[in-house]
Amino acid sequence: MSAQLSQNMLLAVPMAPLVGAIVAGLFGKQVGRRGAHTVTILGVAIAFILSAMTLWSVVQDGARFNATIYEWMSVGSLKMEIGFLVDGLTAMMMCVVTFVSLMVHIYTVGYMEEDPGYQRFFSYISLFTFSMLMLVMSNNFLQLFFGWEAVGLVSYLLIGFWYTKPTAIFANMKAFLVNRVGDFGFILGIGLIVAYAGTLSYAEAFAKAPELAKLSFDMPLWGGEWMLITVTCICLFIGAMGKSAQFPLHVWLPDSMEGPTPISALIHAATMVTAGIFMVARMSPLFELSDTALNFVLVIGAITALFMGFLGIIQNDIKRVVAYSTLSQLGYMTVALGASAYSVAVFHLMTHAFFKALLFLGAGSVIIGMHHDQDIRNMGGLRKYMPITWITSLLGSLALIGTPLFSGFYSKDSIIEAVHASHLPAAQWAYWAVVVGVFVTAFYSFRMYFLVFHGKERFHHKPFPGEHDHHDDHGEHHDPHESPWVVTAPLVLLAIPSVVIGYLTIQPMLFGDFFKDAIVVNTTLHPAMKELSEGFHGAVAMATHGLMTLPFWLALGGVVTAYLFYMVKPAIPAAIKNASGPIYKLLDNKYYLDWFNENVLAAGTRLLGTGLWKGGDQGLIDGLIINGSARGIGNVAGLVRLFQSGYLYWYALVMILGVIGLMTWQLWPYLNLKTFLGL
């Protein structure tokens, strides 16, 4: 019998960051900078400790929780509630979110030290943590949607944190609008579940899933009959495409770099972009019933994994390289979802959270050391100036490219093996995409690493942005410097799980019963996980075997190529750039998707809106119906007015003529016109 978790303890997990956010946000001036970061860090630390205790209870005692905390209202038999569902999936997500958030909070003390919006920033990131916890702990679609929209709102506030910066305001509006597209699909999916299952509860909806899988409806314009479960799952996944930045709704994520670096780490590693992956994994009882939806997920994920990686190759802003890496890795997670390897997707989500947060915070440390220059072409040789940032960034990069024994190896190789084992039609394309993506990932990761930390010191040749030069009044050079301990300590603490967490957890998470009641897989139709389990002989054996697999040699090839191009023969990249002009231009313009969105979609929408306004509103409604009817009545009134002279004799004459006319009309059938005229 499973042990039970305390409702009060679970309630304290999201409430602690919320209290910190309220205190720092509403009473920031009163508590000051120290008070703001103290209360928010304490709140997130409490949430992390309670989350770790929850995970321990789930793993050791088999503890579970699924209950309503508060009933908001009911509409007929439909209940709208706040409730928590805690199982292996939830407990793992709670720990990842709170730990990464805690590291970001501590890091922010150093990174945002001189920012005038210090208290406001701490309030926002603490509110972000609360929103994500409400999302992952939810046991119903209403609360899921609340958390879904809340992380979207806070990301809008954080991307545009520097609200006097035009590019930041453009970026947060772009994120907001693109996510509205995804959220429209998401709420349609929830609406279909409510309409046909009659419930907002996960457990009740999943119990009715086999019945929903038998229903269909006609869609004449879209190929005739569609299965309800397919439409529902695709609508839900469109929501995930927006939140988790899948092609073509990915365009907001690179621009989110306009926000401060700590929030880049939080958005990309543990909160907003992971929400879509988590949601699809949670909805596995529904997705397993539609191969069409799973193929759709596979195709979108494969496109994102490969083609967003290509864009990372040509980026020169250190944060944007890591941002496109996030897009590509989210594509890998999505591919795993499409292959019905939901546990592998969530496993990669967890490992990726640690090393991606490490890489973002490492990039922020480099930016601090470089006096806020973000161009990797102006760096080089930082290894001797920033040893802690260097070694932690190297560990994060090795994890990212899937080096055996590192955390990323276990999750990324499992994704590749899972999609290879899938029998779905789209799996072949997805397998090719993720395998090629291994080389691409290694190349852009170590291109950045070598340009930043090795080679010639290029920062002596160019003034830093915002500075006249790098010399003080005495002519002394401002060398890069290592960041303070509040910045480097989170790097070290994130580097540890980036190296070991995959080795320690692969067996229980992928081949044990950690997700036994959280994720549902039909192994008969979708045998990927079954085949993976048959070939797994332990973490050490997997790492040893990994040295002989194609992904390892592709990753090694990517590293060697990057070293050759940027350390040995730096003329090669320039020559390739000149030789491949149209391709480089295509990549530099991000496949022209921004141009298409702004000049076709947005311009077309504006044109349609203008046509409806001018032709429909002004022309038809105002011009014809409202003003036209008024003019018509005015014309009739003007005609009638001619007969209203005001003279009594005129009215008498009209009455007499009227009487004669009526009498004639009534007697006309009885008159013989010839007799009357005497003919």
Q: What is the pLDDT of residues 144-198, one digit of tens each?
A: 999 999 988 888 888 888 888 888 888 888 888 888 888 999 999 999 999 888 8
How many CA atoms lie less than 13 Å away from 128 in the CB half-sphere?
Answer: 34
8 Å CB contact between 314 and 320: no
The share of the chain scoring above pLDDT 90, in percent, equals 23
Say if residue 593 is in the same domain as residue 520.
no
Identify whether 635 is part of a domain.
no
Say if residue 46 is in the same domain as residue 165.
yes
Q: Of all helices (H) and strands (E), which one includes residue 67?
A: strand 65-75
Say if residue 506 is in the same domain as residue 589.
no
Secondary structure (DSSP) of 207-227: HTHHHHTT-EEEEGGGTEEEE
State pLDDT tens for residues 609-639.
Answer: 888 888 888 788 877 788 788 888 888 888 7
**What is residue 441's predicted lDDT score, i.e. its pLDDT?**
92
Measure the N-to-C terminal CA separation of the chain; round to a whole number of Å: 119
**What is residue 1's predicted lDDT score, i.e. its pLDDT?**
36
**What is residue 109's predicted lDDT score, i.e. its pLDDT?**
86
State pLDDT tens for residues 474-498.
Answer: 344 567 777 788 888 888 998 999 9
Closest CA to 199 of 94, 10, 68: 68
**What is residue 473's predicted lDDT score, i.e. its pLDDT?**
40
Averaged pLDDT, 90-117: 87
Say if residue 208 is in the same domain as residue 285.
yes
Averaged pLDDT, 79-95: 89
Identify whether 579 is part of a domain.
no
Average pLDDT taken over every residue of the chain: 85
State pLDDT tens for residues 285-323.
Answer: 999 888 889 999 999 999 999 988 888 888 888 888 888
d(Cα 335, Cα 417) in Å, to the nearest integer? 11
8 Å CB contact between 365 and 491: yes
Domain enclosing residue 671, as ranges: 647-678
| Single pTM value for the model | 0.85
**What is residue 222's predicted lDDT score, i.e. its pLDDT?**
63
Say if residue 662 is in the same domain as residue 526.
no
8 Å CB contact between 395 and 533: no
State pLDDT tens for residues 357-396.
Answer: 899 888 888 888 888 788 888 888 888 888 888 999 999 9
State pLDDT tens for residues 410-446.
Answer: 999 999 999 998 888 888 889 999 999 999 999 999 9
Identify whether 145 is part of a domain.
yes
d(Cα 679, Cα 631) in Å, to the nearest integer? 51
Identify whether 471 is part of a domain.
no
Secondary structure (DSSP) of 577-638: HHHTHHHHHHHHTGGGHHHHIIIIIIHHHHHHHHHIIIIIIIIIIIIIIIHHHHHHHHHHHH
Please tell me whether residue 647 adopts helix, strand or coil conformation.
coil
Say if residue 193 is in the same domain as residue 87.
yes
8 Å CB contact between 94 and 13: yes
Residue 471 has pLDDT above 50, yes or no: no
Alpha helix segments (H runs only) across 383-426: 387-400, 407-421
d(Cα 274, Cα 333) in Å, to the nearest integer? 9
State pLDDT tens for residues 211-270.
Answer: 888 888 776 666 667 888 888 999 999 999 988 888 888 888 888 888 888 887 777 777
User: 632: which residues sit within 8 A by CB, 6+ positions away?
Assistant: none
Identify whether 24 is part of a domain.
yes
**Total of domains in the chain:** 3
Say if residue 658 is in the same domain as residue 560.
no
d(Cα 605, Cα 590) in Å, to the nearest integer? 22
Say if residue 540 is in the same domain as residue 606.
no
Identify whether 580 is part of a domain.
no
d(Cα 44, Cα 132) in Å, to the nearest integer? 12
Identify whether 470 is part of a domain.
no
Residue 671 has pLDDT above 70, yes or no: no
d(Cα 431, Cα 459) in Å, to the nearest integer? 41
Say if residue 491 is in the same domain as residue 343.
yes
8 Å CB contact between 55 and 94: yes
Identify whether 113 is part of a domain.
yes
Say if residue 622 is in the same domain as residue 495.
no
Q: Which amino acid is at 112?
A: M
d(Cα 266, Cα 126) in Å, to the nearest integer? 11
State pLDDT tens for residues 197-209.
Answer: 888 888 888 888 8
Say if residue 602 is in the same domain as residue 512.
no
Q: Which residue has the tokens 């040509």?
A: 314
**What is residue 673's predicted lDDT score, i.e. its pLDDT?**
56
Averaged pLDDT, 543-551: 88
User: 20: which residues sit within 8 A by CB, 6+ positions away?
Assistant: 39, 40, 41, 42, 43, 44, 122, 123, 126
**What is residue 336's predicted lDDT score, i.e. its pLDDT?**
92
Secondary structure (DSSP) of 277-309: HHHHHHTHHHHTT-HHHHHHHHHHHHHHHHHHH
Say if residue 552 is in the same domain as residue 589.
no
Please tell me whether residue 339 adopts helix, strand or coil conformation.
coil
Secondary structure (DSSP) of 243-272: HTT-TTTTTHHHHGGGS-HHHHHHHHHTSH
